[in-house]
A and B are shown apart, each in its own frame.
Chain A
């Protein structure tokens, strides 16, 4: 096992934990499709990084940040139907990104390119993952209440618009750090599938969040190991393992 693979694996544990954690709020708040559409917006940013020779992950973060500001403005300042507008906007972003990115790099951008990950990328990802996890746990009550009962959270003078922006920012960061592992097209699977499986298993909220984190970690580390051993794409393996976890969870559904 090479050093870089070991670092990737450790980084993966943190990235998966952040994804599983954020995923549980996405599922509760019914934002799973939105986050899936949002992830596509990273592609033009990554393309810029590839074409202009800077770290693609930074381009992805920038593009995602623009994406969430757009969603937030549409939601809070206009009367447009958020769902359809985000659908239109972000599929367009996917098309533009696909046009810009060199064809040789396109598959990696779509399905992950962890084989070519660099140490600086690993460090950036891990740091962001730890930051996301810390913020979510520090603001867990606020985010939870907002996700399950927006009216009650508003009655506590917690601005729904601010909480939504916070949640969107955390989602964008989580998407950005997962892209090198599973790619733009599969990224939402890293957060949504573990949370959906966890919901089938858990009776309590804490149990739900823990299960989601654990399933995400199992899926990603499993995907990396299987991918490494059998020379398969680790992103695709990750999604398949998490899907298998979901299928198993259906049998234990409460």
Chain B
């Protein structure tokens, strides 16, 4: 059981409105593994995550989740309407089948309990991400799918999210699929890296993948490794 893959993806292709987003993607995810998906803007990374979640139908190929594989999802954007009247507690209680109590889950994501009575609209995007993280683990998923935000990111808050994710992965033994732009983070935390640019251009361990050659092939000749490209995706 331990060695069984939680998720297996074979030759996956997805087209939206007759336009091919990506083709021939194959990978697998083992328990407690961290898989990072990297690639330039508009390469289809978010669509890949959403296809795994069942938002979109594959055009070709197969997605096979293990029968006991439950997942949680942290979307790239969680827009809270300024006037949305909802407290953190009410929001967290919307999740069906919770396995942890609110108190437990707040401790896991290092949120103070007095947040529970506060309105969602009063939090910053970094704080909302923590609340969303609490939301996504409260039913004890085996896999966490995390679509890293690209705009309005508070770098310090982002670092703390990664520390939290890493900590959760250690303590809860969950697997993580993360769409990320921060190659330093990937180098530190990921076991497997998948490069996506409309097709799968690389797949392997960070040590093998994160070479200047594969990266310039993936991103063009920018020195992407040293930069934090915040807010760029916005313009595409």
* A199 with B54, Cβ < 8 A, contacts A141-B96, A149-B78, A204-B90 known: no
Q: B85, A199: Cβ atoms under 8 Å?
A: yes
Q: B85, A203: Cβ atoms under 8 Å?
A: yes
* A199 with B83, Cβ < 8 A, contacts A204-B90, A205-B90 known: yes
Instruction: Give Cα distance in the complex from A216 to B84, angstroms.
Output: 20
Q: Give B69-96 as 1s and 0s: 1 = Cβ < 8 Å from A's Cβ atoms.
A: 0011101001011011111001001111
Q: Give B83-121 as 1s and 0s: 1 = Cβ < 8 Å from A's Cβ atoms.
A: 111110010011110000000000000000000000100
Chain B neighbourhood of A157, CB < 8 A: 54
Instruction: Tell me whether A152 is interfacial, beta carbon within 8 Å.
Output: yes
Chain B neighbourhood of A152, CB < 8 A: 73, 75, 78, 135
Instruction: Tell me whether A151 is interfacial, beta carbon within 8 Å.
Output: yes
* A154 with B90, Cβ < 8 A, contacts A199-B85, A203-B85 known: no
User: Which of B17, B87, B94, B135 makes the CB contact (< 8 A) with A79?
Assistant: B17
- B122 vs chain A, min Cβ distance (A): 10
Q: B94, A28: Cβ atoms under 8 Å?
A: no
Chain B neighbourhood of A156, CB < 8 A: 95-96
Chain A neighbourhood of B86, CB < 8 A: 148, 204-205, 208
- A166 vs chain B, min Cβ distance (A): 17
Instruction: Give Cα distance in the complex from A145 to B83, angstroms.
Output: 16
* A204 with B87, Cβ < 8 A, contacts A149-B78, A155-B73 known: yes
Instruction: Give Cα distance in the complex from A155 to B93, angstroms.
Output: 16
- A192 vs chain B, min Cβ distance (A): 14
Chain A neighbourhood of B119, CB < 8 A: 203-204
**Which A206-222 residues sit within 8 Å CB-CB of chain B?**
206-208
Q: B84, A28: Cβ atoms under 8 Å?
A: yes
Instruction: Give Cα distance in the complex from A201 to B177, angstroms.
Output: 41
Instruction: Give Cα distance in the complex from A205 to B95, angstroms.
Output: 15
Closest A-chain residue to B135, C-beta based? Answer: A152
Instruction: Give Cα distance in the complex from A156 to B141, angstroms.
Output: 12
- B223 vs chain A, min Cβ distance (A): 33
* A148 with B135, Cβ < 8 A, contacts A141-B94, A155-B53 known: no
Could you tell me how many residues of chain B have their Cβ less than 8 Å away from some Cβ of chain A? 23
Find the residue from B55, B80, B85, B119 having the highest chain A CB count within 10 A: B85
**Which A162-214 residues sit within 8 Å CB-CB of chain B?**
198-199, 202-208
The secondary-structure label for the interface of chain A is helix
Chain B neighbourhood of A208, CB < 8 A: 85-86
Instruction: Give Cα distance in the complex from A29 to B155, angstroms.
Output: 31
Closest A-chain residue to B78, C-beta based? Answer: A149
Find the residue from A141, A145, A149, A206 having the highest chain B CB count within 10 A: A149
- A201 vs chain B, min Cβ distance (A): 8
Instruction: Tell me whether A82 is interfacial, beta carbon within 8 Å.
Output: no
Q: B135, A154: Cβ atoms under 8 Å?
A: no
* A148 with B85, Cβ < 8 A, contacts A155-B73, A203-B119 known: no
Chain B neighbourhood of A141, CB < 8 A: 93-94, 96
User: Which of B54, B71, B80, B85 makes the CB contact (< 8 A) with A204?
Assistant: B85
- A228 vs chain B, min Cβ distance (A): 34
Q: Give B46-60 as 1s and 0s: 1 = Cβ < 8 Å from A's Cβ atoms.
A: 000000011100000
Q: B87, A203: Cβ atoms under 8 Å?
A: yes
Instruction: Tell me whether A113 is interfacial, beta carbon within 8 Å.
Output: no
Chain A neighbourhood of B80, CB < 8 A: 148
Instruction: Give Cα distance in the complex from A79 to B86, angstroms.
Output: 32
User: Which of B81, B83, B94 makes the CB contact (< 8 A) with A144?
Assistant: B94
Chain B neighbourhood of A203, CB < 8 A: 85, 87, 119
Chain A neighbourhood of B95, CB < 8 A: 156
Instruction: Give Cα distance in the complex from A64 to B81, angstroms.
Output: 29
Q: A206, B73: Cβ atoms under 8 Å?
A: no
Instruction: Give Cα distance in the complex from A199 to B85, angstroms.
Output: 7
Q: B55, A202: Cβ atoms under 8 Å?
A: no
- A156 vs chain B, min Cβ distance (A): 7
Closest A-chain residue to B79, C-beta based? Answer: A149
- B72 vs chain A, min Cβ distance (A): 8
Chain A neighbourhood of B73, CB < 8 A: 151-152, 155
- B116 vs chain A, min Cβ distance (A): 11
- A20 vs chain B, min Cβ distance (A): 14
- B53 vs chain A, min Cβ distance (A): 5
Find the residue from B78, B90, B93, B94 having the highest chain A CB count within 10 A: B94
Q: A207, B96: Cβ atoms under 8 Å?
A: no
5 example contacts (A-B, Cβ-Cβ < 8 A) are as follows A149-B78, A155-B75, A203-B85, A205-B85, A205-B86
